[in-house]
Structure 1
């Protein structure tokens, strides 16, 4: 339908019942990934090199591992062993299966990609992804309709609201995630409206450092710096206060929410700074 693929992120406003359902879906998606990976390792062994050698000897280097049919079989077995997975929205579990399959393919193609690992509660961002049926529009005004979860209201800018409600916009999938404080929905859409970027006819290379201080070095040997020392000091301060509290107490929970706000603020400021700098 559209010639431009774009991503739009909106903030969701959930009811208490929907929040419980969302958190269940996050957990079931993570559990599905771990169950499929565990069944695959139990069948072919834990050593990835031995696994690659078996497939290369049988199918040659052109074959991708593992096959979707195998993972789908593991998914059906997991649903029988864990009945609560049947209560979860089905396409989100299928997307977890497809993501694992893609991870195996990437690792098989290049050594730059790590082998698939188990998802932990602490290090994995809670999320799930739903596909959109053809000729279905999940957005109406500022309301998003999700399967199994019903209608959810969201807030965003007027520009993005008009884009999501445009009849020329096609929805590919929706990713819902949780940052520790709020729930968000990221739309993958196809549209005829491109992002308005002015053409400067100039080329410049940028190397963004991976540390939290936001160093950026250009090909013209120009350095840019974004100061997040205050955020880092506040994170240390709140961590120090939490260490003096009993874990799980009322004050500890308040400090935990305050700490998450500082983490999110530091991340958002750094991402916004990098986006604007590379844009300019």
Structure 2
């Protein structure tokens, strides 16, 4: 049994009064973010004027700024206190990622384009009933989910809950601590090549097709055009917007369902799962590929495998993005430098083996991943850490 943190999403059905209070809390979180970011920038300008080039963020400073904001703007007291404290925690994380070069500079949040949500920490003031959730400052809200998840919510520890407005619907995302049994060990390992012609190719020759969401995408385009011809916020506009949101949800749910089923099956069947560490962000710079990449959603697929391997006790590994998995012969190791992007099959000039491009890449990914794991094991052996070696060796042996 593994004790893990999981997210559990349920649909909320607030009444008109509750919708007003939720929207107020969403607006307060956005307002607090923008004001704290503005205060930071003003303070930084002052520091820079006096010769200081860097101003570090810390919780004490932002907490003091938040207290001053509350005194200046009374409406912030309508929000639960931990939801506003979460804002500056998120802002500090955003700055830390920026300083480490992992993200761009934090931006101000727009009312129109921002993700509409806020998070409440559980300090013993979140209560779960059969059909309702009691939240601080908001009160009792009706929700709907399966009987299994309803019982789980009552019996697990809830760390926090995020209230989210998405496509005209309200959701509660619970962060919970729960025990999950590990999948049985199969002593099998797999290399997976991600592609654009097929979603994924396994080294055993199995190819997983891309999900066809053409119909949903065409319907989304159709209602986008209709929206552009309606008067903003008119009754016809609102009705068309609901239908537009419906098709967006249908596409997203279809992709999520497909990816969850595939990734769960992969994690269940294999003890060691090896993929390439692709630079997806750079690939999106290619205008010819970006549209198809957006539809395929590689990042979602990889992240699902990664977190499921972690919670179900399997090993997940990514090899270097610079490894030439497609151009190396999986039989003799010959490097075929003349392989073109459009070629789906090629013949090795050394051993004369005819390769399917994707299957050959998957085989090479598997070999390189296992080699990396074995090298790590030998390094641990050299350092004399026998306990870790045994665990690593057990996880890599067939």
- Counterpart in the other structure of 2:137: 148
Task: Please state if 1:202 is matched with 2:193.
Answer: no
Q: 2:177 aligns with which of 186, 190, 207?
A: 190
1:17 aligns with 2:12: no
Q: In the alignment, is residue 83 of structure 1 matched against residue 74 of structure 2? A: yes
Aligned length: 261
Q: Compute the TM-score of the two structures, normalised by the length of structure 2.
A: 0.60
CA distance in 2, matches of 1:120, 1:92: 18
3-state secondary structure, aligned to 1:17: helix
Q: 1:115 to 1:230 in 2, by over 3 A?
A: same
* Superposed counterparts of 1:22-171, under 5 Å: 22-45=22-45, 53-55=53-55, 65-108=56-99, 110-134=100-124, 138-166=127-155, 169-171=156-158
Secondary structure class of the residue paired with 1:204: strand
Structure 1 consecutive aligned stretches of length 4 or more whose deviation exceeds 4 Å? 195-199, 205-209
How far apart, in 2, do the equivalents of 1:208 and 1:257 lie? Answer: 35
Q: 1:208, 1:217 within 8 Å by CA — same for their partners in 2?
A: yes
| Alignment partners' CA distance in 1, 2:215 and 2:70 | 48
Alpha-carbon distance in structure 1 between the residues aligned to 2:52 and 2:96: 11
Tell me the residue number matched to 2:199: 216
Q: How far 1:27 moved relative to its partner? A: 0.8
Instruction: Describe the shift of the 1:153–1:196 C-alpha distance in structure 2 as closer, same or farther (beyond 3 A).
Output: farther
Gaps of 5+ in 2: 266-398
Identify which of 215, 221, 245 aligns with 2:230.
Answer: 245
| Native 8 Å contact 2:37 2:108 kept in 1 | yes
Name the CA shift for 1:202/1:31 in 2 (closer, same or farther; >3 Å).
farther
Q: Measure, in 2, the Cα distance between the counterparts of 1:264 and 1:214.
A: 25
TM-score, reference length from structure 1: 0.83
Q: 1:4 to 1:165 in 2, by over 3 A?
A: same
Contiguous gaps of at least 5 residues in structure 1:
56-64
The CA deviation at 1:150 is 0.7
- For residues 219-266 of structure 1, give each alpha carbon's deviation from its aligned partner in whole angstroms, at most 9, with x where no partner exists: 537352011111111111112222332222211111011111111211
Higher relative contact order (CA 8 A, sep 6+): 1
Shift in CA distance, 253/137, structure 1 to aligned 2, threshold 3 Å: closer
Residues 1:274 and 1:184: Cα distance change in structure 2 (over 3 Å): same
Match of 2:220 among 227, 235, 248: 235
State how far apart, in whole Å, the 1-side matches of 2:52 and 2:225 are: 47
Question: Following the alignment from structure 2 to structure 1, what is the Cα–Cα distance between the partners of residues 193 and 174?
Answer: 28
